Amino acid sequence: MDTILEMRGITKEFPGVKALNNVNMAVRRGEIRALVGENGAGKSTLMKVLSGVYPHGSYEGEILYNGKPMAFRGIHDSEAQGIVIIHQELALVPQMSIAENIFLGNEIATNGIIDRRETNRRTAELLAQVGLRENPATKVGELGMGKQQLVEIAKALSKKVELLILDEPTSSLNENDSAALLQLLHGFRDQGITAILISHKLNEISQVADSITVLRDGATVAHHDQMVSEEQIIRDMVGRSMDDRYPPRDPRIGGVVMSVRDWTVEDPGNAQRLLVKGAGFDLRQGEVLGIAGLMGAGRTELAMSLFGRSVGKFRAGEVTIHGKAADLSTVPRAIQAGLAYVTEDRKSLGLVLIDTIRRNIPLANLAGVATKGVVDRHREGEIGRDFRKRMNIRSSSIEQATVNLSGGNQQKVVLSKWLFTEPEILILDEPTRGIDVGAKYEIYTMIRDLAESGKSVIVISSEMPELLGITDRILVMNEGRIVGELPTAEASQEKIMAMIIRSGSNASDPTVTVAEIEAEAAHV
| pLDDT one-digit tens code per residue, 294-306 | 777 889 999 999 9
What does the pLDDT read at residue 10? 94
CA distance 85 to 156: 8
- In single-letter form, the type of residue at position 289 comes to L
What does the pLDDT read at residue 301? 92
What does the pLDDT read at residue 172? 67
Contact between 309 and 329 (Cβ < 8 Å): yes
Counting as low any pLDDT under 70, the low residues of the chain are: 1, 16, 39, 172-174, 240-244, 504-524
**Radius of gyration in angstroms for the set of CA atoms belonging to the chain, rounded to a whole number:** 24
Q: Where are the beta strands (DSSP E) in 192-332?
A: 194-198, 211-216, 219-224, 256-267, 270-284, 288-292, 313-321, 324-325
User: Closest Cα to residue 323, out of 259, 262, 261, 254?
Assistant: 259
Give start and end residues of each alpha helix (H) in 239-307: 299-306
What does the pLDDT read at residue 449? 92
Contact between 329 and 264 (Cβ < 8 Å): no
What does the pLDDT read at residue 109? 85
The verdict on pTM exceeding 0.85 is no
Q: Do strands 370-371 and 374-375 pair parallel, antiparallel, or not at all (unpaired)?
A: antiparallel
Q: Dihedral of the CA atoms 329, 332, 338, 342 (nearest 10)?
A: 100
- Residue 39 CB contacts under 8 Å (≥ 6 apart), including other chains: 406, 407, 408, 409, 435, 436, 439
At residue 167, φ and ψ (nearest 5 deg) are -100, 105
Query: SS3 of 85, please?
Result: strand
Q: Which domains does the chain have, with CATH numbers?
A: 3-238 (3.40.50.300), 256-521 (3.40.50.300)
| Residue 310: Cβ within 10 Å count | 18
Contact between 237 and 438 (Cβ < 8 Å): yes
Taking each helix axis from N to C terminus, what angle separates 145-157 and 175-190, rounded to the nearest 10 degrees? Answer: 20
What percentage of the chain reaches a pLDDT higher than 90? 47
CA distance 425 to 375: 26
CA distance 490 to 363: 40
What does the pLDDT read at residue 1? 60
